[in-house]
Amino acid sequence: MNLALVKYNAGNTQSVLFALERLGITAQLTNDADELMAADKVIFPGVGEAGNTMKHLKSLGLDVILPSLKQPFLGICLGMQLMCRHSEEGDTECLGIFDLDVRRFVPRNHEKVPHMGWNDLSVADHPLLRDLSDPHMYFVHSYYVPESKHSLASAEYIHPFCAVINKDNFYAVQFHPEKSGAQGQKLLENFIGL
Amino acid sequence: MLKKRIIPCLDIKNGRTVKGINFVNIRDAGDPVELGALYAREGADELVFLDITATHEGRKTFVELVRDIARHLNIPFTVGGGISSVEDVTPLLQAGADKVSVNSSAVRRPELIDELVDAFGSQCIVVAIDARLKDGVWTVFTHGGREPTDKELFAWAREVEKRGAGEILFTSMNHDGTKNGFAVDALKELSEQVQIPVIASGGAGSMDHFKEVFENDSADAALAASIFHFKEIGIGELKDYLKNNNIAVR
């Protein structure tokens, strides 16, 4: 298994590397186009702010490389949001892999923003989500992907939103599987098995 | 539904946990990684590790420890103690910590919050506030509750939020160590005045105290140290108790 982790200024790279290590996988941390294209699987982590991060991705040429990849690809948290068309955060044009727009949570009844903590998922029957009994994951985010036809799992905070999306070889999760206990670990294992 | 969080807090000195006794099912209760892993297995939602070491050597040990914790733990954790600059935070986050907490240094120089938020994002900046109620006024204290300041709790909390903090950890010094329950009224007021999550700290003595603080949304999470370390309350039984009382927990 040759698993590449996209190297850029994402905040949670080390945590994802450790989570993969717990599954017995040593990932290759790289932003080299050839290495990314040659990998069996690619994980695109992310913690941070959309605008600055997109600038950084462009400076590395990753805005062209990432959408062209053909192997199973998993975006995490900000990674998921950057795979969409546009984000309200910093009015940012993103990678456009999903034709979706990322919005900021607007409280209706004094709900706190960020949405921080463990929340339930309603999951579709899909190999990425198999064997998750009572699925719940750890979220930290202020922006969300609205419900769409690409959804494999949804969660509810203020209103329903996409927790997992999929299109062709591209998968993305809003929560942090690397920090979501045994269930998160199972999801990563499922991704590796795709 | 978003769950209420239970957060054990571990004090660390020279790489070892300070409190904590009589754990029969782990080899070394002084080992923060083992104790943290035990809490995670029992159902803790997050962990806080506070470094109370003052020395430079101790700090280096702490960064190594943070790396070790991140390697073994699969739930989020916050680290704090002695953080006063962006340079202090970088190695901790790189080692795998999810959030950092600041306290005295943010009171001394509030711009620190803005600098940390700009550098790392709101989601990983927790501002801890210690305050004491006297004559109807909640005064903010620093240096582990030793030094009074000219700041008032609610005004400081609003400022902290405005500067971009992602979360507030409020410890009531009137309640801390009493085991008579959390400062529910002040927490409720705080939760209404800010839009970011509030962690309750200080005063937990029974399972009912956790129920009380989560009812009416006085807090989004509750932190405790000694009652978990001394096994007065097990995290598993606490979760069951809260569930049976219709509090959403995982």
* pLDDT tens-digit readout, A125-162: 999 999 998 899 999 999 999 999 999 999 999 999 99
The model's pLDDT over B176-218, given as tens digits with 9 standing for 90+, comes to 989 999 999 999 999 999 999 999 999 999 999 999 999 989 9
- Give per-residue pLDDT as tens, A21-44: 999 999 999 999 999 999 999 999
Is B167 within 8 Å of chain A by CB?
yes
Please say if the pLDDT value at position B24 is more than 60. Answer: no
Interface A–B counts its CB contacts (< 8 A) at 89
Q: Please confirm, yes or no, whether A176 is among the known catalytic residues.
A: yes
- Beta partners for B196? none
Residue of B249, B234, B244, B223 lying closest to B41 (CA atoms): B234
B130 is an active site residue: yes
Please give the C-alpha separations between residue A90 and each of A10, A50, A58, B56, in angstroms, as whole numbers.
Answer: 17, 7, 16, 39
Q: What is the model's pLDDT at position B29? A: 66
**Cβ atoms of residues B236 and B38 within 8 Å:** no
Instruction: Specify whether B114 is catalytic.
Output: no
Bridge partners, residue B78, by sequence: B48, B99
Q: Which helix (H) or strand (E) holds B239?
A: helix B235-244
pLDDT exceeds cutoff 70 at B25: no
Set B31, B98, B130, B176: catalytic member: B130
pLDDT in tens, B34-92: 999 999 999 999 999 999 876 777 777 899 999 999 999 999 999 999 899 999 999 99
Q: In this complex, which of B2, B74, B167 lies closest to A184 when CB atoms are compared?
A: B74
User: Span B236-240, mean pLDDT?
Assistant: 97
Phi, psi values for residue A50, rounded to 5°: -60, -50
∠ Cα A155 A160 A166 (to 5°): 65
CB contact under 8 Å between A119 and B98, yes or no, is no
Domains of chain B: 5-244 (3.20.20.70)
DSSP string, A116-172: EEEEE-EE-S-GGGTT-SS-EEEEEESEEPPP-TTEEEEEEESEEEEEEEEETTEEE
Max Cα separation, chain B? 48
Helix (H, G, I), strand (E, B) or coil at B56: helix
pLDDT value at residue B20: 47
Average pLDDT of the residues of chain A: 95
CATH number of the domain at A120, please: 3.40.50.880
pLDDT(B23) > 70: no
pLDDT band at residue B27, thresholds of 50, 70 and 90?
low
The pLDDT assigned to B119 comes to 87
A92's tokens: 């940012």
Across the interface, whether the CB atoms of B195 and A112 are under 8 A apart is answered yes
Please tell me the predicted confidence (pLDDT) of residue B113.
98
Domain that holds residue A24: 3-192
Q: Give the percent of chain B with pLDDT over 70.
A: 95
Q: How far is B222 from chain A (nearest CA, A)?
A: 12
Are A15 and B95 in contact (CB < 8 Å)? no
Confidence of residue B16 (pLDDT cuts 50, 70, 90): confident
Q: Is B110 on the interface with A (CB under 8 A)?
A: no
Q: Which of A7, A18, A154 to mutate to test the interface with B (most CBs of B within 10 A)?
A: A18
| Separation in Å, CA A179 to CA A117, B45, B78, B172 | 11, 10, 12, 29
What is the model's pLDDT at position A133?
Answer: 84
Query: Does B2 sit within 8 Å of A119, measured CB to CB?
Result: yes
Distance CA B94, CA A36 (A): 23
Q: What is the pLDDT of residues A1-27, one digit of tens each?
A: 899 999 988 778 999 999 999 999 999
Number of domains in chain A: 1
Measured CA to CA, the distance from residue A148 to residue B133 in angstroms comes to 49
Q: pLDDT per residue over B112-127, tens digit each?
A: 999 999 888 889 999 9
Q: Is the predicted pLDDT of residue B150 greater than 60, yes or no? A: yes
